[in-house]
Amino acid sequence: MLHLAEALGFSGRKVVAALAALPFPIAHGHSLRDALRTQQQALPWTLLSSGGEQQVSRCFAQSVVLRGICRENPGSCPGKRPHSTLQACETEEEVLQRYLQTSFPGAFSASHVLEQPCPTLPPYPQFFSPLLTKQGLLLDQPLGSSTAVESIPVAAALQAAPVLHAVLRGLCRELRALGTRRCAGFFAAGVEEEEFREALHDLRALAECYKTHVEADESEDETDSD
């Protein structure tokens, strides 16, 4: 994980955000290209890292792994023009890579597709919707009898994304608000006041590495409100 984060964190960036879709939303009898087409502008995974319910719509670099997706025959027929860029892809790896390139233009994207799903046999908690099959695929209507979900397709991603600018700045504000004079026990453990202030400075500098023009405007608004 450390080496992967370092590979994604160029230009002074050292932190990545974790995202996941558990289970990955794919309907029974549908292909990966069908699932991604129905997502349209809404990404199929959500942010797990600190940062609230923000939608990660931009990133600098990312690594995405999708598992539990069955292989299908090529979707484009010979002599027939595909009606979408995803339809023109011949493999699931190409479908996912094309989707990432379209959703995050200009970002470095590494992707992997694995057939083996994530097992959810006991003692894995059965907190899934009744609309899922044993294989974790979505149904239009629940099955007549309750059935334990034995496996699910999962998507996981690590991203060096601008959303981390707000996350790191928020952490810096929380640390400043502690008030070092009220944390005598903290400094008694061996942390020097100067080291603490230097760490805060480094954290704020790290946050600036994730700033784009959008985050710059938001930072100015925060400064004005302060």
Q: Which of 66, 46, 28 is nearest to 153 (CA)?
A: 66
Distances (CA, A) of 104 to 27, 41, 136, 216: 24, 11, 27, 20
Which pLDDT score, from 0 to 100, does residue 201 have? Answer: 94
Q: How far is CA 90 from the centre of its chain?
A: 25
Q: Digits of tens for pLDDT over the chain (226 positions)?
A: 888 888 898 888 989 999 999 999 999 888 898 888 877 667 888 888 776 556 677 899 999 999 998 876 544 444 444 556 787 888 999 999 999 999 999 999 999 999 999 999 889 998 888 899 999 999 988 876 677 899 999 999 999 999 999 889 998 998 888 766 666 666 676 777 788 889 899 999 999 999 987 655 555 555 544 5
- Would the CA dihedral through 199, 58, 212, 224 be positive or negative? negative
| Cα–Cα distance, 85 to 82 (Å, whole number) | 7
pLDDT at 223: 52
Instruction: Check residue 217 and give its pLDDT.
Output: 54
How many C-beta neighbours within 10 Å does residue 143 have?
12
Q: Which residues contact 1 (CB under 8 A, 6 or more apart)?
A: none
Q: Answer whether 210's CB lies under 8 Å from 49's CB.
A: no
